[in-house]
Amino acid sequence: MIHIKKHFTDLAIFGDTLTLNDKLYVGRPNIGNRDRLLSRINDILDRRWLTNHGPYVQEFEQRIADLVGVKHCIATCNATVGLELAIRALELKGEVIVPSFTFIATAHALQWQEITPVFCDIDPQTHTINPWRIEAMITPRTTGIIGVHVWGQPCNIEALTKISQKHNLKLLFDAAHAFGCSYKGQMIGNFGEIEVFSFHATKFINSCEGGAIVTNNNELANKIRLMENFGFAGMDNVIYIGTNGKMSEMSAAMGLTSLESMDEFSEVNYRNYKYYQQELGGIPGISLFKFNEQEKCNYQYIILEIDELETHISRDKLLEILHANNIIARRYFYPGCHRMEPYRSYFPHTRLLLPETEKLGDCVLLLPTGTSINQDIIRIIAQIIRTAITEAKTT
């Protein structure tokens, strides 16, 4: 490991872009134009309209609806509350089928409302829920399916739509990763009954914290609007049970500013993705998750799969070496929702039903990308990985 670190030092001809003391993180936020943001913040302070569907939230919702080509967009304080609202608006209950290979919020949004998440295995090619495993999991208590567009890679939406129609199940998508992505030429946000985006700091577009519920269904949109604001139908008039799911003006100001740089962010991400492809190409046992370049994609994630039989080094050892060299790579969705509480205790044998989820969770490694990374850095990251593998083979 010391040897690699020295190697890294030798290679570190960064000019003034990076010193060895800088850590590179997965999910480091992309920041849009600072002056635009500050001028919006000044507007907010001048207006003294800080929240409750202010002008920036309205503008943010309109921009998202236009970009996605969807009828209704309701901005939320975050995507987790967005999912909870969507689940409630769809009147899901009993059991809902979800992948375990997702961020814990997908499962928690159900369990929080005492709905049982039934974990389904994934397709190892797309990393998304495997439609052909769903029918065997349907019981009389099943009311819906939540697909997750992991990494911005759309689920097999066509198959999921067919299955949900056949069994009269509601179909909801956790599109937290998939803002700016398309499926068969149509923007994500138009599928199922409802889709939910996240604008958390680590996501492609961020509003510090935030999310959006999108739907083409008028009735659902009206219901969610009420639920998001305590059920208020007007001043002093509550007609429904609700919560506080509103986005603030400050968040919308950040979100709007981030949206203005959307093309730049995806260009940078795409360029980084191609550099990674080029630099990691010849390393045996390392494969980079491939996106369909015919579709729109935000390329927000760089996903490696480590085949330990070929690399002779485990994913976790490689992670350790990268961290020791200030590259803060991450395991994602590890160890999988089914192995986290409370699900692990509720269903201790679930892992037997999820061989692909288990396998993937043990071999995935995410690398940094975004506007704080460039070709030189990618070359060095690849060099560290190559050296680690070469050394593992010779020792």
Site residues for ligand PLP per CB under 6 A: 78-80, 102-103, 105-106, 148, 174, 176-177, 198, 200, 211
Task: Kindly give, in sequence order, each residue whose CB lies less than 8 Å from that of residue 92, ignoring residues fewer than 6 positions away.
Answer: 110, 113, 115, 143, 144, 170, 172
CA-CA distances (angstroms) from residue 184 to 154, 158, 173, 251, 289?
A: 10, 10, 16, 31, 19
Q: Report the run of H or E that residue 55 belongs to, with start and end.
A: helix 55-68
Measure the CA–CA gap between 21 and 323, rounded to whole angstroms: 12
Among the listed residues 212, 227, 262, the one whose alpha carbon sits nearest the alpha carbon of residue 33: 262
- Give 78 or 143: the residue with its C-beta nearer to ligand PLP: 78
Closest contact distance (angstroms) between CB of 293 and ligand PLP is 23
- Give 77 or 389: the residue with its C-beta nearer to ligand PLP: 77
Q: Are 83 and 74 in contact (CB under 8 A)?
A: no
Closest contact distance (angstroms) between CB of 92 and ligand PLP is 16
C-alpha count within 13 angstroms, C-beta hemisphere, residue 50 = 2
Which structure tokens are listed for 213?
């519920």
- Give 65 or 201: the residue with its C-beta nearer to ligand PLP: 201
- Give 200 or 225: the residue with its C-beta nearer to ligand PLP: 200
CB atoms within 10 A of CB 222: 15
Told to judge if 203 belongs to the known catalytic residues of this protein, a careful annotator would answer yes
Closest contact distance (angstroms) between CB of 202 and ligand PLP is 7
Measure the CA–CA gap between 31 and 7, rounded to whole angstroms: 32
| Residue 133 per-residue DSSP state | G
- Give 83 or 169: the residue with its C-beta nearer to ligand PLP: 83
- Give 131 or 210: the residue with its C-beta nearer to ligand PLP: 210
Closest contact distance (angstroms) between CB of 245 and ligand PLP is 11
- Give 102 or 182: the residue with its C-beta nearer to ligand PLP: 102
Q: Are 269 and 278 in contact (CB under 8 A)?
A: no
Measure the CA–CA gap between 164 and 171, rounded to whole angstroms: 6
Closest contact distance (angstroms) between CB of 332 and ligand PLP is 9
Measure the CA–CA gap between 376 and 18, rounded to whole angstroms: 10
Residue 335: asked if its preceding bond is cis (omega within 30°), the reply is yes
Closest contact distance (angstroms) between CB of 105 and ligand PLP is 4
Closest contact distance (angstroms) between CB of 321 and ligand PLP is 26
Q: List strand residue ranges (DSSP E) for 169-210, in order.
A: 170-174, 182-183, 186-187, 194-198
Contacts 24+ apart (CB under 8 A), 257-260: 257/32, 257/33, 257/36, 257/37, 257/40, 258/30, 258/31, 258/32, 258/199, 258/205, 258/206, 258/207, 259/32, 259/60, 259/63, 259/64, 259/67, 259/205, 260/32, 260/33, 260/36
Task: Specify burial of residue 344 (Cβ count, 10 A radius: 0-12, 13-18, 19+).
Answer: middle
Which structure tokens are listed for 142?
């099943």
Closest contact distance (angstroms) between CB of 210 and ligand PLP is 7
- Give 79 or 297: the residue with its C-beta nearer to ligand PLP: 79
Q: Which of 5, 162, 203, 296 is catalytic?
A: 203
Catalytic residues: 203
